[in-house]
Structure 1
């Protein structure tokens, strides 16, 4: 199940919940119980280690190398 991050529009609480995509519209704030939530998009987290021999370096010739 994916993790979804929300901010409550009533009390301002930020929280993360593990929900199925069918349940995310039924989420409630754990602090105040409101359903007036904004879903936050903070990026993708990849769990686990990278395969042997792979790297995440910048392409050669880039200004980041």
Structure 2
């Protein structure tokens, strides 16, 4: 498929509202909805992902 190794976010709830994230490719952080694994993938730079996750704290 894409080469991304997705894992479920540790912040996902148990009610099927899960986000999966892949960090295995150096220049990209990939994010997708676990309910739609063949759906769209959001690709971010590692810096953009860091800025996003920092803003959530």
Q: Point out the structure with max Rg over C-alpha.
A: 1
When normalised by structure 2's length, the TM-score is: 0.27
Q: Which has the higher helix share?
A: 2
Q: TM-score, normalised by structure 1?
A: 0.25
